[in-house]
């Protein structure tokens, strides 16, 4: 059993994390156990902001989110667009609609577009490569991020070759027992890890992540996630509170909390100052000041919605999602005011990970010359931010011998009740 730490002991762990970029399992357990100590969150967030400032200054990057299909072949227990949800009103955006969203976004100052959707077999490699190529041709100064779930390595390579820069694929849980409790049979943590490994090896800027407060999650699960992230060395990590959807097996479960989510954002920022960390829409949904709290804790990315207003309420991963009725221009202006209110600034930029360098093809320079920075695949300079050796990526991380697998989770029956989360006070920083 982990003893509840004193404030001084917990503060020492924050300093060690900032200095060494990692803690032991026991130290992480102590830090998480002490997260409600008066003054600890302020200390953590202060150091997280300093780490962010040293790499990115006061910049906050916007990603224009285009939710282009809510068809999905998967049946995750927590997701509102799971294939078994017969109440979901399905839609697909056309190629022309996607390009129109991108054109509007660029006019509003977005330099990254995120094409997100369920695992929809209609959007095969040929269709996606055509869309990616069209976006790249129309907006060569913009980055393109994909979030399309699990695919084959060959598919990821095809989309990368077509011009995609980044790929977001939440691992959801690095604890095998917990992962199984969130998904039906046939969903494999090993395959999810394989996908992330393939994406990294191909050359994408890779994003992983997890829900905070999902059913059955313990501090041990969260520590498994932190160790996995350290091993993977992603460029982006997206975390947000679990929020139940009324038409899923998890309808009756309690939502996650904003305080723990922002505490983990601070930890992640100290683990890797170069991470791109979003203050997610789910964080803004669970608490009216959630995104501001995320920025104060070290986040530096926001993802406003560029999808047509007519389809936004159809892409409902969880209940009561905010900003489904705002026009793109209104949403951007609102976010800029929120960013300015916490002393940061929205910048017009692709917002690439600061730990990446763009490399020219070998034929573009003589052996004696340095590669010139050019657009194209990116390679991370892994030694830039870490004073400790980076371990080899292990697709299935070893668990602590003390870890007890979580018993099989019995899903709650579907309920019509709306989200009734009690809004908790966020820690001040």
Which of 389, 405, 414 lies closest to 224 in space, CA to CA? 405
| The two three-digit tokens of residue 313, written as one number | 């309420």
3-state secondary structure of 145: strand
pLDDT tens per residue, range 214-272: 999 999 999 999 999 999 999 999 999 999 999 999 999 999 999 999 999 999 999 99
Residue 427: the pLDDT is 58
Q: Is the pLDDT of residue 350 over 60?
A: yes
150 Rama sector, left if φ>0, alpha if ψ -120 to 50, beta otherwise: beta
Q: Is the pLDDT of residue 107 over 60?
A: yes
The CB density around residue 142, as the number of other CB atoms within 10 Å, is 18
Residues of the chain with CATH 3.20.20.70: 50-347
CA distances from 167 to 89, 110, 144 (A): 26, 18, 9
Please give the distance of CA 235 from its chain centroid, rounded to a whole number. 10
pLDDT tens per residue, range 270-293: 999 999 999 999 999 999 999 999
Residue 84: the pLDDT is 97
Residue 3: the pLDDT is 64
Residue 409: the pLDDT is 28
The CATH classification of domain 50-347, taken from the options 3.40.50.300, 3.40.50.2000, 3.20.20.70, 3.40.50.10310: 3.20.20.70
pLDDT band at 426 (very low <50, low <70, confident <90, very high): low
Cα three-residue angle 304-374-236, rounded to 5 degrees: 35
Q: Which residue has the higher pLDDT, 375 or 141?
A: 141
Q: Is the pLDDT of residue 406 over 80?
A: no
Q: How many CA atoms lie within 13 A of 209 on its CB side?
A: 26
Gap between the Cα atoms of 197 and 53, Å rounded:
29
Task: State the pTM of this model.
Answer: 0.84
DSSP letters, 268-303, are HHHH-TT-B-B--HHHHHHSTTHHHHHHHTT--EE-
């Amino acid at each position: 059993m982990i003893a509840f730490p004193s404030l001084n002991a917990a503060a020492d762990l924050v300093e060690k994390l900032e200095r060494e970029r990692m803690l032991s399992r026991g130290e992480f357990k102590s830090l998480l156990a002490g997260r409600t100590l008066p003054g600890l969150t302020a200390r953590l967030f202060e150091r997280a902001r300093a780490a962010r400032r040293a790499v990115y200054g006061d910049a906050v990057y916007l990603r224009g989110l285009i939710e282009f299909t809510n068809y999905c072949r998967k049946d995750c227990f927590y997701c509102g667009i799971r294939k078994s949800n017969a109440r979901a009103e399905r839609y697909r955006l056309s190629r022309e609609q996607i390009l129109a969203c991108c054109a509007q976004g660029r006019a509003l100052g977005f330099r990254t577009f995120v094409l997100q959707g369920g695992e929809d077999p209609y959007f095969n490699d040929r269709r996606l490569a055509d869309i990616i190529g069209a976006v790249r041709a129309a907006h060569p100064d913009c980055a393109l991020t994909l979030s399309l779930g699990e695919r084959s390595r060959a598919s990821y390579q095809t989309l990368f070759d077509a011009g995609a820069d980044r790929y977001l694929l939440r691992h959801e849980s690095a604890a095998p027992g917990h992962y199984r409790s969130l998904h039906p049979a046939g969903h494999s943590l090993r395959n999810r890890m394989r996908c992330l490994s393939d994406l990294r090896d191909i050359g994408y800027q890779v994003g992983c992540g997890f829900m905070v407060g999902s059913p059955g999650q313990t501090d041990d699960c969260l520590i498994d996630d932190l160790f996995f992230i350290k091993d993977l060395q992603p460029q982006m990590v997206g975390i947000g509170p679990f929020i139940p959807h009324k038409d899923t097996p998890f309808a009756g479960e309690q939502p996650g909390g904003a305080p723990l989510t922002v505490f983990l954002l601070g930890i992640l920022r100290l683990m890797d100052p170069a991470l791109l960390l979003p203050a997610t829409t789910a964080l803004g949904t669970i608490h009216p000041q959630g995104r501001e709290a995320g920025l104060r804790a070290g986040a530096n990315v926001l993802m406003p919605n560029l999808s047509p207003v007519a389809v936004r309420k159809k892409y409902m991963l969880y209940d009561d999602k905010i900003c489904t009725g705002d026009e793109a221009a209104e949403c951007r202006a609102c976010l800029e005011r929120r960013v300015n209110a916490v002393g940061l600034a929205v910048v017009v930029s692709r917002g690439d990970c600061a730990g990446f360098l763009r490399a020219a093809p070998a034929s573009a320079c003589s052996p004696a010359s340095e590669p010139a920075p050019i657009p194209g695949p990116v390679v991370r300079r892994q030694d830039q931010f870490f004073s400790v050796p980076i371990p080899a990526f292990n697709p299935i991380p070893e668990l602590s011998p003390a870890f007890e697998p979580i018993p099989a989770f019995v899903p709650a029956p579907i309920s019509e009740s709306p989200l009734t989360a009690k809004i908790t006070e966020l820690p001040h920083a």
